[in-house]
Amino acid sequence: MLTTVDTPPLDPLLHRPDFPILSREVRSGVPLVYLDNAASTQHPRQVIQSMVACYEEHYANVHRGIHQLAQESDDLYNAAREKVCRFINAPTVEQCIFTYGTTSGINVVARSWGDANIEPGDEILLTEMEHHSNLVPWQQLAERRGAVLRHIPLTDDGRLRMESLDSLLTPRTKLVALMSVSNVLGTINPVDEIVRRAHAVGALVLVDGAQSVPHQKTDVQAMDADFLVFSGHKMLGPSGVGVLYGKRELLDAMPPFLGGGSMIRRVMLDTFEPGELPSKFEAGTPPIVSAIGLGAAIDYLDRIGLEAVGQHERLLTERAHKVLGEVEGVHILGPEPQHKAGIVSFTLDRIHSHDVAEVLDRSGIAVRAGHHCAMPLHKRYGVSATARASFYLYNTLEEVDRLGPALEAAKRVFHRKRK
């Protein structure tokens, strides 16, 4: 659960002017209400301007030139990595590897650590709530290496059945991979306890932090997870950049996954020597400008404070549960607000979620509809799709309130069609 004791309240109206897109109308007279933040957040001017400035004033490839532009680009790129390191309290900057997103980071671990360490009969423990990005790479690894996949089941209200760990965690368990916050249910998982119990049987832990790092303070040293992955585009930054953090001894021992330029120390015609961290996992030209934009996003979040962000999202989530609970026929997936982050997925009786999203869009309300890259989770709850409202620091209580009338309008539209 998030803690927000003695945290000054966040006023979204102070920050909304920083986000140009939030002032637009999606059609004449219909202002945008952006409630699709779990998919991707919007960008403040400070992030946009940092990237424009890089292209207009400093751009050059990094770590390859000695001219002025190359040195300036190096400095900005390296500074972004240092900001990431401080943001998650990593012991060293070399342990923070730039990737192209959460999915990319998970695949690096599956291909590098997984192929080198997983043997036939070894077990990989996942959960029933995982995003496809934290399912498919392990399915592929299990197929390549002959490993066995096991899954922590869910309660009816969308929480992990922790008592199942007594039988699921065994000496055969080599890796536990789980999301810290569900992108569908909003459930905040007990990562610290799972890490402790996994380590007790000798297993490593990878944490998918895509839905937590942007919203709550993350300390990788206190968490003690072996790997953490997250994406820039879910935390006010640009798409195309993410971060893989790993414990130093693990990253040092892992072979490079992608080969090419930048990840080498020396190349001969018939062999090569890999470079040092983080270079050996950053083959080719990295996401230079996107990383610099991510650094600017971290600066923005640091100024506001993640404690304030978490407290504000709790208020929005509580209001959403109240508003949706007053609409007859709405069913919310996941636990009560005190156990979840700012994500509320729901169904509406006799109306497909895509139709719900389409009618909400007529009122300017942007939500997500579908299986949210979590098909097994939806199967667990007997639904093919849900509509999802998700919140961030610039959303207001008034925007959440608009969900109620818009859903009542959806009911009128589709129930009238059936008559």
CATH topology of domain 12-43+306-418: Aspartate Aminotransferase, domain 1 (3.90.1150)
Judge if 12-43+306-418 and 47-302 fold alike in CATH terms.
Answer: no
pLDDT computed for residue 114 by the predictor: 98
pLDDT computed for residue 2 by the predictor: 44
- Which residues, in sequence order, are bridge partners of residue 150? 125
Domain boundaries, the chain: 12-43+306-418, 47-302
HSE value, Cβ hemisphere, 13 Å, CA-based, for 122: 23
CATH of domain 47-302: 3.40.640.10
Q: Which amino acid is at 135?
A: L
pLDDT computed for residue 8 by the predictor: 77
pLDDT computed for residue 6 by the predictor: 60
Residues 6+ apart with CB under 8 A from 226: 204, 205, 206, 246, 247, 250
Residues with catalytic annotation? 373
Query: What is the model's pTM?
Result: 0.96
Average pLDDT across each block of 10 residues of the chain; the chain has 419 residues. List them in order.
61 98 95 98 98 98 94 98 98 98 98 98 98 98 98 98 98 98 98 98 98 98 98 98 98 96 95 96 97 98 98 98 98 98 97 96 97 98 98 98 97 75
